[in-house]
């Protein structure tokens, strides 16, 4: 392989990184007619081809240019786990050898995917397997889009000629802090939401942040109908800092100011994620603190609480799962105070269910 070959390889980027407008600019620059963009997007997002050569209504020259400039596969399947409840967890190797994981869950409202946005994470949630491994880099928008395409392929494996199933819901809640990779995540959302892209409805997309206050405010200005979830896990600063190191830099007061700004600007609901850790944040006093935080201010009707039973991680033995009775009692106390609270249904408990668990296991090996 000579230097020219190397240069060409380095320049090749995933075609899924490009918005429709960016692809149109590229097409025009190559002297190709702009309407070809629509044809290319159709092959990518509706016909979901695996090679540019399958794009049969494009000229040989256009396909050669696409081959020269872009790649179609940034993700290689490394390991797959299948749960009895239909959950599929995939470990992927990226082009630079880094590992990420993606989870597909089957709900009664349709197949839902949890995507990863960074290789590792710097937020430092002390209960999280992903946080054990520091951030290496951000994922490109194309690498996030491809997680959906790969998992949709898995969803349809073995279904023969039956009508292909589509992933209908997306949660941006896998490894990484999505707002620490803001531009690529927003670009990803716009591509999958685009009617000529994957056409996944904005209200079927949820982005979950650990609480980057400034970015929550920026997100409020985007005019998107995407759902926002915020990982709270404790309603008092001391406890939240113990659970999430980020709270030292962005305490609850700053976070709530940003949440209030978002609520006022968008009038959309916000979900507070609350992972229940036995004898750490699952006591009745914690439920009362949480209710008080939500009910103070004008937030009552727009805040929902999602209670998440903890999936233990072997490297983090300081945390245990709360008893089912404590979880139910916690939910009851919130509801009695007038807070909308649900207990999240669990998926994939018979496989490495915790976020980042499969990846960290593989890296240790
Ligand atoms: S829970 Fe999310 S934000 Fe926190 S360390 Fe894990 S991946 Fe990062």
Distance from the first to the final alpha carbon of the chain: 32
Q: Average model confidence (pLDDT) for the chain?
A: 91
Q: Are 12 and 71 spatial neighbours (Cβ–Cβ below 8 Å)?
A: yes
Instruction: Spot the catalytic one: 101, 143, 152, 273.
Output: 101
User: Tell me, what's the pLDDT at 314?
Assistant: 75
Asked if 114 is an active-site residue, the reply is no
Does the structure show a pLDDT above 90 at 320? Answer: yes
Asked if 346 is an active-site residue, the reply is no
CA of 179 to the centre of ligand 1 (A): 12
Residue 7 — very low, low, confident or very high, per pLDDT cuts 50/70/90?
very low
Residues with CB under 6 A from ligand 1: 121, 123, 125, 128, 130-131, 175-177, 210, 355
Q: Taking residues 136-161, what's their average pLDDT? A: 93
Residue 365 — very low, low, confident or very high, per pLDDT cuts 50/70/90?
low
Which of 101, 123, 212 has most ligand 1 atoms within 8 Å of CB, for mutation? 123
And the tokens for 144?
């996030």
**110/289 Cα distance (integer angstroms):** 35
DSSP string, 17-37: G--HHHHHHHHHHTT--TTHH
- Please state whether beta strands 227-231 and 270-276 pair in parallel, antiparallel, or not at all (unpaired): parallel
The atom of ligand 1 lying closest to the CA of 128 is 6
Read off the pLDDT of residues 25-54 as tens digits, 9 standing for 90 and up: 999 999 999 999 999 999 999 999 999 999
User: Tell me, what's the pLDDT at 355?
Assistant: 65
Whole-number percent of the chain with pLDDT over 90: 80
The helix (H) or strand (E) run that includes residue 154 is helix 141-156
**145/143 Cα distance (integer angstroms):** 6
Q: For the whole model, what pTM was predicted?
A: 0.92
137 DSSP assignment = E
| Residues 6+ away with beta carbon under 8 Å from 364 | none
Whole-number percent of the chain with pLDDT over 70: 93
Read off the pLDDT of residues 220-256 as tens digits, 9 standing for 90 and up: 999 999 999 999 999 999 999 999 999 999 999 999 9
CA of 334 to the centre of ligand 1 (A): 25
User: Tell me, what's the pLDDT at 324?
Assistant: 95
Does the structure show a pLDDT above 90 at 80? Answer: yes
CA of 239 to the centre of ligand 1 (A): 17
User: Tell me, what's the pLDDT at 299?
Assistant: 73
**160/145 Cα distance (integer angstroms):** 24
User: Tell me, what's the pLDDT at 271?
Assistant: 97
The atom of ligand 1 lying closest to the CA of 210 is 3
User: Tell me, what's the pLDDT at 11?
Assistant: 58
User: Tell me, what's the pLDDT at 282?
Assistant: 97
Q: Taking residues 74-102, what's their average pLDDT? A: 93
Does the structure show a pLDDT above 50 at 13? Answer: yes
User: For residues 325 and 363, which has the higher predicted lDDT (pLDDT)?
Assistant: 325
- Cα–Cα separations (whole angstroms), residue 329 to 284, 291, 333: 8, 14, 6
User: Tell me, what's the pLDDT at 356?
Assistant: 67
The helix (H) or strand (E) run that includes residue 81 is strand 75-82
Q: Taking residues 122-135, what's their average pLDDT? A: 85
Does the structure show a pLDDT above 50 at 2? Answer: no
Does the structure show a pLDDT above 80 at 69? Answer: yes
User: Tell me, what's the pLDDT at 315?
Assistant: 75
The atom of ligand 1 lying closest to the CA of 174 is 7
């Amino acid at each position: 392989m000579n230097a020219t070959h190397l240069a060409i390889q380095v320049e090749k980027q995933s075609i899924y990184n490009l918005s429709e407008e960016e692809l149109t600019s590229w097409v025009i620059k190559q002297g190709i007619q702009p309407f070809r963009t629509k044809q290319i997007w159709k092959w990518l997002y509706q016909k979901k081809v695996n090679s540019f050569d399958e794009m049969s209504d494009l000229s040989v020259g256009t396909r050669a240019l696409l081959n020269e400039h872009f790649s179609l596969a940034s993700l290689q399947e490394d390991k797959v786990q299948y749960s009895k409840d239909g959950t599929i967890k995939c470990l992927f190797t990226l082009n630079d050898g880094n590992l990420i994981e993606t989870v597909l869950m089957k709900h009664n409202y349709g197949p839902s995917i949890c995507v990863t946005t960074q290789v590792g994470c710097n937020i430092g949630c002390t209960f999280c397997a992903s946080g054990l491994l520091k951030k290496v880099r951000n994922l490109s928008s194309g690498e996030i889009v491809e997680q959906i395409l790969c998992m949709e392929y898995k969803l349809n494996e073995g279904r023969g000629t039956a009508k292909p199933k589509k992933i209908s819901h997306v949660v941006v809640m896998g490894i990484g802090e999505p707002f620490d990779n803001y531009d690529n995540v927003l670009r990803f959302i716009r591509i999958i939401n685009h009617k000529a892209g994957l056409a996944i409805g904005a209200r079927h997309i949820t982005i979950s942040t650990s609480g980057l206050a400034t970015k929550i405010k920026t997100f409020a200005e985007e005019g998107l109908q995407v759902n926002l979830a915020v990982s709270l896990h404790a309603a008092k600063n001391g406890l939240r800092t113990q659970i999430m190191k980020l709270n030292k830099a962005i305490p609850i007061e700053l976070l709530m100011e940003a949440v209030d700004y978002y609520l006022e600007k968008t009038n959309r609901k916000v979900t507070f994620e609350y992972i229940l850790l036995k004898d750490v944040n699952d006591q009745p006093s914690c439920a009362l603190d949480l209710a008080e935080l939500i009910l103070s201010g004008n937030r009552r009707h727009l805040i929902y609480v999602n209670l998440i039973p903890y999936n233990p991680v072997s490297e983090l033995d300081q945390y245990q799962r709360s008893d089912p009775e404590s979880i139910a009692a916690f939910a009851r106390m919130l509801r009695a105070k007038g807070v909308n609270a649900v207990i999240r249904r669990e998926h994939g408990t018979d496989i490495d269910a915790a976020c980042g668990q499969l990846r960290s296991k593989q890296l240790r090996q």
